[in-house]
Amino acid sequence: MIKRAFIQTTAALALVAAFGVAQAQTTPIKFQLDWRFEGPAALFLTPTAKGYFKDAKLDVTVDAGNGSGAAVTRVASGTYDMGFADLAALMEFHANNPDAPNKPVAVMVVYNNTPASVMALKKSGIKTSADLNGKKLGAPVFDAGRRAFPIFAKANNVTGVQWTAMDPPLRETMLARGDVDAITGFTFTSLLNLEARGVKAEDVVVIPYADNGVKLYGNVIIASPKLIKENPAAVKAFLQAFAKGAKDVMANPAAAINDVKARDGIINVPLETRRLQLAIDTVINSPDARAEGFGQLKGPRLSLMASQVSDAFATKSRVNPDVVWNGSFLPTAAELNVFPKK
């Protein structure tokens, strides 16, 4: 009797120990988004909701953000392990903080093209980039499109632009009221925000940077050097689970929006579904992305972007393309085959 109790107790302790080991093997990952819980956030919320990160032995928490620059600095500070940010913002941080001990690194491309564009109302008479000469443009000072506008201006010989700064919620309102001639912003953000202010899509002229000589990469997944050094397997596992989720999101955006609504119950579901689809069509499943491969980038294009960002952002030191990118954690070609069939 005593022997049987001993065996049972030993077995129970072994189970508890095994459970403890299994728990210990789960890696917590704090992930910082670039913006609010809007349509594109489904790319990260869907693999979380479907348990893909959990299956990869990761305990991932995804938090809303308030800009790419903030996402970069929060990962750099160690508050977050990974994040989602504009590659230009990451490059700027590297070049302006050459001695920073914990500079985040891009490990996967999500937006193969920058979503930035210039948007104007048709009634303004603006039709092409050539019509922007001498016009009044508006955007928040930290807007990615405004920061990169010198690259756009150089590529399209645009001169004499006057800038008006405002808080993000006022950008589309000021364009609709005629306070500015045009605005810069992410197409899938500003176009739908204009609609919400009563402006019809057919009354808006959109001049995408990507179609007008500006081949900047857009948002990337970034990781802290500390995580990369201490747990490279976790970085690889995260990207594998993310790619699996991204495939689901692109296959059924409408279903994926439910995962966004679960995090923010007051979102406008039809509007955010359209926002997600617009992001997929313009910067994720774009011709450039299909040519280069999901998640990947090309060295010459990265080097050109590094040079352009150094000039446009007037960084303290030149951006070194070799230190902002690490593609060694990317999933296999089969795992990156996430685009819907044409």
CATH of the domain at 324: 3.40.190.10
Containing structural domain, residue 270: 8-113+217-329
Query: What is the average per-residue pLDDT within 224-247?
Result: 98
Confidence tier at 247 by pLDDT (50, 70, 90): very high
**Would strands 105-109 and 162-164 be described as parallel, antiparallel, or unpaired?**
unpaired
The sheet carrying 105-109 orders its strands as: 58-63, 27-32, 82-86, 219-223, 105-109
Examine residue 340 and state whether it is found in any structural domain, yes or no: no
What pLDDT is recorded for position 21?
A: 43
With beta carbons less than 8 A apart as the criterion, state whether 306 and 215 touch. Answer: no
Examine residue 342 and state whether it is found in any structural domain, yes or no: no
With beta carbons less than 8 A apart as the criterion, state whether 115 and 188 touch. Answer: yes
Examine residue 3 and state whether it is found in any structural domain, yes or no: no
Q: What is the pLDDT of residues 147-205, one digit of tens each?
A: 999 999 999 999 999 999 999 999 999 999 999 999 999 999 999 999 989 999 999 99
Examine residue 315 and state whether it is found in any structural domain, yes or no: yes
Residues 221 and 306 in one domain: yes
| Domain final residue pick, 189, 211, 233 | 211
Residues 149 and 126 in one domain: yes
Residue 299: Cβ within 10 Å count:
11
What is the value of pTM for the model shown? 0.90
| Domain final residue pick, 211, 234, 254 | 211
How many structural domains does the chain have?
Answer: 2
Residues 258 and 126 in one domain: no
Confidence tier at 25 by pLDDT (50, 70, 90): confident
Residues 187 and 172 in one domain: yes
Query: What is the average per-residue pLDDT within 207-226?
Result: 96
pLDDT over 70 (residue 42): yes
d(CA 338, CA 251): 9
What pLDDT is recorded for position 11?
A: 54
Examine residue 272 and state whether it is found in any structural domain, yes or no: yes
